[in-house]
Structure 1
């Protein structure tokens, strides 16, 4: 294959999965032009990725809070990062950009590349106040105070920084503990963005978070996550299919040759070649219990529940927020679940449930007796709201029932981003002869737990018709 601008080759450079929040404009062209002025010329597929990364909503904020880019090694995803970092430093006024990688040598190599681009461009170099090259302190600071820091990830790296942009390279090795340290650094910024770039994880990688990002990205239901994936997909199995090689490697004909891939094909095992060159995830690598397609198929923006409904409450272990879910029968058949309220903290919960009880006269309010929300039972009871609690066995039954209802096409939702994200992040917690939703690290699945409990309460009528007898 030779370098070409034919429509056929440009089509092959587009990602197989491209789920991107809507945007009205993009700063991608500005970033591409700045990179070119520094001698960094982007391929068409890289320009597309940068356009989607820098898509803007009305008012100028990024359309994507999170951006995930999955592409095989040596295709040039580093150039996308470099162009984004240059633009953040010299165009967008990002006060702090943090570039982290799993290994220090990777972060250091990225620092040396961006340093070379700046050193060799007079217009950029003149705006630099200081370049730190000491081991572990690598970074660039402009005269206006804008900074770009490079670091290897750890449980504590990133704590204390209030960054505008977080670049998470080697995202296939991204422990939840590291995310717990890094994510809060963006909370106080007016227009933050997280960018994940990585490859398909090897068995030894800690890829739980990146797998969750993949699942949410493939589902295409998030309004704040852009997911770009160059791979033929898990359903594909012909390792010698040249077209699949091109689909998985947008730089084929630019940076990678067919001849080189042929040598890799001969040298690597089937599993390694599929993972490393073709970005094919193992079929058992899903991070979510609920299949993304099944959940998407049950989306109905017009769905609504008939009264009376059942309400349920859940709180994540860190108690940073709380979620109230509901479940009710639909006129068209099946069950409608919905996240009816979700806010930071827990101080608002009792008053909100009192208002909901008055407004919709539910059959019951359900809480998992073994979950973090159980601490609110006393307050709710004191406020005159009787609460139904589930045991560990009933919680397992609730999870299994919701799972079956989704698979059987009997449960419907309206596509709420918080609930979508919780569904995509859900994993299993094994019990003696069953399982329940697993809470891990900083992943908040309380919206899913809340609607699970609500649906279980609805199915358990009339035994759960506690409040209904009051009306």
Structure 2
């Protein structure tokens, strides 16, 4: 980036910071030389706006293990010590020992640099720049002890292991009084839930970054850089390792991967070495299966016969409208989705009139065979649409209906006997689905009762696909009688 502090941060690291242990990066004590991709990463992370203010306040950097996260994080932290008078820099992690990893690297860099050791005084749990009062400390996840801080720069090492979001929230709030603070999470992927059973702060930020990348959200204050392999790629292949690891063959020994893939459980290998998220519950669709069914972006032409699937909530969830064509190979397309915005308050509700208008518009665009919906909570809307002559068909989400519908949709995906338009919202909802099995069979579910992960688009798609695959009931044949027959 031409405008920002990234080149200065990189110059600080390469001039004053050293390798702290013998690795592929170099011998202990040798200069820490950044790679081109790290220079580019720093440029984006520390970019500035035209008015001179820092562009990003929160940055999420995702890399598999052994790509130089600790050394880079330590260099970023030490650079932050010299960011004005009274700078406060913190390394945060799930526990004290984890927090000491980045801090320990930073302290060894100071001890091995004549220039840094002259400017910085080392304590057991802190580094201090005497001249400016800048201080650098490591913190663990006991968030209630961190009130009263005023950080200028915060490094979260392995953000995915935070037991909950308390420490992150405390540090974000504490930084609010500073002019240009930045919180940086440098992490690998992990499981999606924290100790409370909700989405972890790291996974929430990752999903938020995906929404920004897909154009669903606009937030210049948030930056995400994520290296990882596509879920559908074979985790045993060298080309998959190279895709996920920017330092593969440089800071990373390929022979280490060849040995690790043989003795590491697949889920752990995918998480730590390929930077892929894993579910604590059994995922419904196999990794990559949905992507293989991708078709044209807008493949349902106007006037095509379709079934509309509608799954509605009112305030706490999302509402979804999906069209599925009724041809030999059904095509699945998101018509509209209403999700609670990330900055909305608790009084947010689904815009009912907008939902009804979207359904009417869809009925004008296509030849709608059925509007398939669960009547729960939306009885008024269904009655209004039915009174207008629209083909509303109730589809209660009971086991008797959802189990065969779920099975049919799954088989269609695995056999590639359906296609879809590649909508990232539907892909996200499908990825959030897990399968629940009991004596009656298997059906879709969230991974926890109060999980914030949305699956409404997936449910709507399953319902619409089920009805689109059914032969329509024939129109009744007119009966003619003569007076003699009476």
| TM norm. shorter chain > 0.5 | yes
Question: What is the CA–CA distance in structure 1 between the aligned matches of 2:359 and 2:383, rounded to whole Å?
Answer: 15
Aligned length: 390
- Cross-structure match for 1:292: 288
CA distance in 2: counterparts of 1:253 and 1:48, whole angstroms:
15
Matched, 1:158 2:188: no
Report the 3-state secondary structure (helix = DSSP H, G, I; strand = E; otherwise coil) of the residue aligned with 1:359: helix
| In the alignment, structure 1 residue 366 sits paired with structure 2 residue 367 | no
Q: Matched residues in 2 for 1:299 and 1:291: separation?
A: 18
| SS class of match (1:180) | coil
Larger radius of gyration between Structure 1 and Structure 2:
2
Counterpart among 35, 39, 43 of residue 44 in structure 1: 35
**Does the CA-based 8 Å contact 1:50-1:84 persist in structure 2?**
no
Alignment correspondent of 2:483:
none
- Kept in 2, the 8 Å contact 1:101–1:168? The answer is no
Distance 2:380 2:296 in 1: 35
- What is the CA–CA distance in structure 2 between the aligned matches of 1:294 and 1:366, rounded to whole Å? 23
Distance 2:231 2:252 in 1: 31
- Hey, what does 1:79 align to over in structure 2? 71
Say if 1:307 and 1:360, in contact at 8 Å, map to a contact too.
no
- Kept after mapping to 1: 8 A contact 2:6/2:43: yes
1:449 corresponds, among 456, 459, 467, to 459
For the pair 1:322 / 2:319, whether they are aligned, the reply is yes
Which of 216, 230, 253 aligns to 1:218? It is 230
2-structure distance, mates of 1:189, 1:158:
22
CA displacement at 1:89 relative to structure 2: 8.5
| 1:320–1:344 Cα contact (<8 Å) kept | yes
Q: CA deviation at 1:249?
A: 9.5
Q: Separation in 2 of the partners of 1:250 and 1:426?
A: 33
Task: Please name the residue that 1:351 is paired with.
Answer: 353
Alignment pair present for 1:271 and 2:249: no
The residue matched to 2:467 in structure 1 has which SS?
helix
Question: Relative to 1, partners in 2 of residues 1:464 and 1:30: Cα closer, same or farther, differing over 3 Å?
Answer: farther
Alignment partner, residue 22 of structure 2: none
Residue 103 of structure 1 deviates from its aligned partner by 4.1
Pairing 1:389–2:391 present = no
Shift in CA distance, 429/169, structure 1 to aligned 2, threshold 3 Å: same
Match of 1:410 in 2: 417
Q: Go from structure 1 to structure 2 and tell me whether the alpha carbon gap of 1:280 and 1:343 turns closer, same or farther (over 3 Å shift).
A: closer
Q: TM-score, normalised by structure 1?
A: 0.61
Taking the TM superposition and a 5 Å limit, the aligned residue runs for 1:150-229 are: 153-158=162-167, 160-161=169-170, 162=172, 165=183, 167=185, 169=187, 171-172=189-190, 175-176=193-194, 177=196, 180=199, 182=201, 190-193=220-223, 218=230
Q: Could you tell me how far 1:288 is from its partner in structure 2? A: 5.5
Cα pair 1:314 1:324 within 8 Å, conserved: yes
Cα distance between partner residues in 1 of 2:12 and 2:251:
21
Query: Structure 1 residues 172, 129: closer, same or farther in 2, change over 3 A?
Result: same
Consecutive unaligned residues of structure 2, counting only runs of 5 or more, are: 19-31, 121-127, 174-181, 209-217, 341-347, 387-391, 476-486
The aligned residue for residue 69 of structure 1 is: 63
Q: Deviations over 1:93-128 (max 9, x none)?
A: xx9998654443112322343466689385995666
For residues 399 and 89 of structure 1, the distance between their equivalents in structure 2, rounded to whole angstroms, comes to 55
Q: Which structure carries more relative contact order (alpha carbon 8 Å, separation 6+)?
A: 1
Name 2:28's counterpart in structure 1.
none
The residue aligned with 1:104 is: 96
Q: What is the aligned partner in structure 2 of residue 430 from structure 1?
A: 437
User: Aligned equivalents of 1:422 and 1:409: distance in 2?
Assistant: 19
Contact 1:96 1:165 in 2 (8 A): no
For each residue in 1:45-89, what CA deviation from the matched residue of structure 2 results, as whole angstroms up to 9, or x when unmatched?
A: 762783797598999978x98653224x4x523234445667888
Alignment equivalent of 2:10, drawn from 32, 48, 51: 32
Paired residues of 2:283 and 2:435 also in contact (CA < 8 A): no
Report the alpha carbon displacement of residue 269 of structure 1 after superposing the two structures with TM: 10
SS in 1 for 2:395: strand
In structure 1, C-alpha distance between the alignment counterparts of 2:89 and 2:452, rounded to whole Å: 22
Shift of 1:413: 1.9
Give the Cα separation in 2 of the matches to 1:97 and 1:416.
Answer: 40
> Is the contact made by 1:327 and 1:335 (CA closer than 8 Å) also made in structure 2?
yes
- 1:330-341 residue pairs with structure 2 within 5 A? 334-341=329-336
Q: Tell me the distance in 2 between the aligned counterparts of 1:354 and 1:96.
A: 52
CA–CA distance in structure 1, aligned partners of residues 357 and 288 of structure 2: 34
Give how far 1:389 is off.
1.9
Q: 2:378 and 2:295 mapped to 1: Cα distance?
A: 32
Partner of 2:426: 419
Pairwise CA RMSD of aligned residues?
5.5
- 8 Å contact kept, 1:158–1:185: no
Classify 1:244/1:257 alpha carbon distance in 2 versus 1 (closer, same or farther; 3 Å).
closer
Map of 1:146 onto structure 2:
152
Q: TM-score, normalised by structure 2?
A: 0.60
Partner of 2:380: 379
